Each structure stands twice: as C-alpha cells, then as structure tokens.
C-alpha cells in the first residue's frame, strides 16, 4: 500500500464522521455595521458644518493678513475714504 | 445582469434546476445585502453554514477553534461581498475564502509551535490494516489530522484538497490561487514527505 492509498483509506473512514454543527450568529455582523452608520452619521454633519464655517474664516484671515503685511493698503483705503 | 441571465437560462434537469435556484436565491440575497438589507446576509449564512462548517472541520479538530474559523469565514465573506463578481456560484467563492482562512490558521499554528510529536504509530498501524468501513470515523479523522499536522501547511493543504477531498488539479489551483503546475509540483513534494513520515512511523509503504 502506498502513501496515497493510506491517506485515501483514512479519508474515506473520516468522511463518515459527523461534523459539529455551528450556528453562526449573523446578527453580530449586522449590528456593528448598523452601529457604525449611526455613529458616523452625526460626525458627517459636524464635519460638513465645520467646513462651511471654516471657509469665511479663511477668507477673513487672508484679508486681515494682507492688511497687516501691507500697511500702505490701509493708508490708501483711508485716503480714498477721506477724498470721497 | 448575471441574475437576469441565470433566470432566463434553460433548465435541463431537476438537479440543475435546484442548482440554478440556489444560485438565484444567493444572488438575490447578495444584491439585497449590498442594498442594505440586514437580514439578507443572515439568510446566506443560514443556507451555507453547514457546508462551511464541514469544510473548516478539516482544518481543526478543536471545537472552539472550529466555531471561530466558521465565523471568520462569514465575516471575511461579508466584508468582501461587494467584490463577488458572480462568475462562479457563491458556494465556490465561499469555499475559496474558507480555504484561505483555514490555510492562514494552519500557518499561524505552525509558527506558534514547533512540529508536533503526536504519537500516531500505534493507531496508524492498526488502522492501515483495517478496512475503511470497519474504522471508527472519529479515530480515523483524528489520526488523519495528526498525521497531516506534522507536515508544513502548504503540503498539508495540497494533500487535503487533492486526495482527502478528491479535487482535481484545476479545482485545487482555483481554491489556492496557485497555478496548475505549482499544484502538481507541490503534490509531488507533499507525497514524498508523507511517505517519509509514514515510514518513520514504522508503516510499510510501497
């Protein structure tokens, strides 16, 4: 008898063995996914709101920085206002 | 698209009819699951858990590890469900995931411990002399598992797929992701190692 015949003989006998039944809980897969959705949904809104608020702040910051770094602009603006 | 193709296909025999129906149902549940139906995956699990349990029982004899492996297969399948292209039946796809999970388990276990020194000689001698019908299935499965456990995971995998599960070279290649030539070479090497293992255990091998 060669090694394959031995292997197949054992496999044939082992095939009659009853496999333990497993009850897979599919709920744990679904629940974390649903929980993730519930958890991430408010975060998406907060992130959107924060982005919307950040945009005018950035524009204002750039404008202010320009005024600070170029004081002549402020003087010219003042003169324009007086002349007008 | 595939679903429509399957439903419009000709049904030749009752067996094929049943097979097509299973595929249709699986595809419908996969689509529902991807659309957010939480119960669709539960139905897929329910239909396939026996098949996966039987498959994973080849990878471990420990009931707790077995349960974890089956669970892991379904979690992995769930996470990559969107990648299922319906090119093959869902069971084949699931079977491939099961093979990968099982093989990874063997690799992890083989790294964790050195080669086992399970005493197989006594039982093996007695079993080899007996007919398969007269063997106790659990003892035969235990011995088979202990015997293969002493081989490296790659050899073990190819022997299980090719000779224990009696799969063709093509099927083995599909499940493992190896080429056909690689499966043949690996089988040849694994057989050689198995022969040596049996000889070392005092079994007469031709």
**Greater pLDDT, B22 or B26:** B26
B24-43 per-position pLDDT tens digit: 888 899 999 888 887 888 88
Same domain, B109 and B150: no
Domains contained in chain B, number: 2
**What average pLDDT score do residues A41-69 get?**
86
Number of helical H runs and strand E runs in chain B:
10, 0
Same domain, B144 and B105: no
pLDDT higher than threshold 80 for residue B119:
no
B163-180 per-position pLDDT tens digit: 999 999 999 999 999 999
pLDDT value, residue B120: 59
Q: What are phi and psi of A27, to 5 degrees?
A: -60, -45
pLDDT value, residue A41: 73
Closest among B92, B180, B191, B45 to A29, alpha carbons compared = B45
Interface of A with B (CB under 8 A): 1-4, 6-27, 29-30, 33-34
Could you give the CA distance from residue B40 to residue A26 in angstroms, rounded to a whole number? 10
Q: Best of A4, A14, A29, A37 to disrupt the B interface by mutation (most B CBs within 10 Å)?
A: A14
Contact between chains at B205 and A14 (C-beta distance less than 8 A): no
Asked if B195 is an interface residue toward chain A (Cβ–Cβ < 8 A), one would say yes
How many other CB atoms are found less than 10 A from the CB of residue B86? 17
Å from A64 to nearest chain B CA? 49
Same domain, B92 and B172: no
Same domain, B39 and B103: yes
Determine the structural domain holding residue B182 and report its residue range.
118-206
Of B87, B113, B139, the residue that ends a domain is B113
pLDDT value, residue A36: 58
Could you give the CA distance from residue A64 to residue A58 in angstroms, rounded to a whole number? 10
pLDDT value, residue B69: 94
Å from B10 to nearest chain A CA? 34
Q: From chain B, pick out residues whose CB is under 8 angstroms from the CB of A35.
A: none
Same domain, B126 and B56: no
Q: Pick from B63, B128, B133: which is nearest to A1 by CB?
A: B128
Q: What is the DSSP letter of B166?
A: -
pLDDT higher than threshold 50 for residue B99:
yes
Domain coordinates in residue numbering, chain A = 26-83
pLDDT higher than threshold 50 for residue B14:
no
Same domain, B43 and B100: yes
Q: What is the DSSP letter of B114?
A: P
Residues of chain A with pLDDT > 90: what percent? 23
pLDDT value, residue B6: 33
Same domain, B67 and B147: no
Mean pLDDT of chain B: 83
Tokens at A76, concatenated: 């010219």
**Greater pLDDT, A25 or B95:** B95
pLDDT higher than threshold 80 for residue B85:
yes
Same domain, B53 and B148: no
Same domain, B131 and B91: no
Of B113, B131, B163, the residue that ends a domain is B113
Contact between chains at B138 and A9 (C-beta distance less than 8 A): no
CATH number at residue B87: 1.10.1740.10
**Greater pLDDT, B78 or A68:** B78
Could you give the CA distance from residue B14 to residue B1 in angstroms, rounded to a whole number? 24
């Amino acid at each position: 008898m060669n090694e394959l015949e031995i292997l197949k003989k054992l496999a044939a006998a082992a095939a009659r063995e009853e496999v333990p039944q497993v009850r897979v809980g599919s709920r744990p897969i679904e629940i974390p996914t649903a929980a993730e959705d519930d958890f991430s949904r408010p975060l998406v809104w907060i992130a959107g709101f924060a982005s919307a608020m950040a945009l005018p702040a950035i524009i204002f910051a750039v404008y202010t920085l320009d005024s600070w770094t170029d004081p002549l602009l402020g003087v010219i603006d003042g003169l324009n206002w007086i002349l007008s | 698209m595939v679903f429509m193709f399957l439903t419009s296909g000709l049904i030749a025999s009752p067996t094929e009819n049943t097979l097509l129906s299973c595929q249709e149902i699986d595809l419908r549940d996969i689509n529902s699951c991807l659309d957010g139906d939480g119960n669709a995956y539960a139905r897929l699990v329910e239909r396939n858990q026996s098949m996966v349990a039987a498959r994973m029982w080849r990878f471990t004899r420990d009931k707790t590890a077995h349960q974890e492996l089956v669970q892991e297969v379904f979690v992995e399948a769930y996470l990559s469900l969107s990648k299922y292209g319906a090119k093959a039946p869902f069971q084949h796809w699931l079977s491939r995931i099961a093979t990968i999970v099982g093989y990874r388990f063997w690799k992890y276990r083989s790294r964790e411990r050195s080669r086992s020194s399970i005493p197989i000689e006594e039982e093996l001698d007695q079993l080899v002399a007996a007919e398969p019908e007269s063997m106790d299935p659990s003892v035969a499965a235990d011995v088979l598992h202990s015997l293969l456990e002493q081989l490296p995971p790659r050899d073990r995998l190819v022997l299980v797929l090719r000779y224990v599960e009696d799969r063709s070279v093509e099927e083995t290649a599909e499940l493992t992701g190896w080429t056909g030539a690689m499966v043949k070479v690996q089988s040849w090497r694994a057989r050689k190692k198995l022969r040596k293992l049996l000889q070392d255990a005092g079994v007469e091998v031709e």
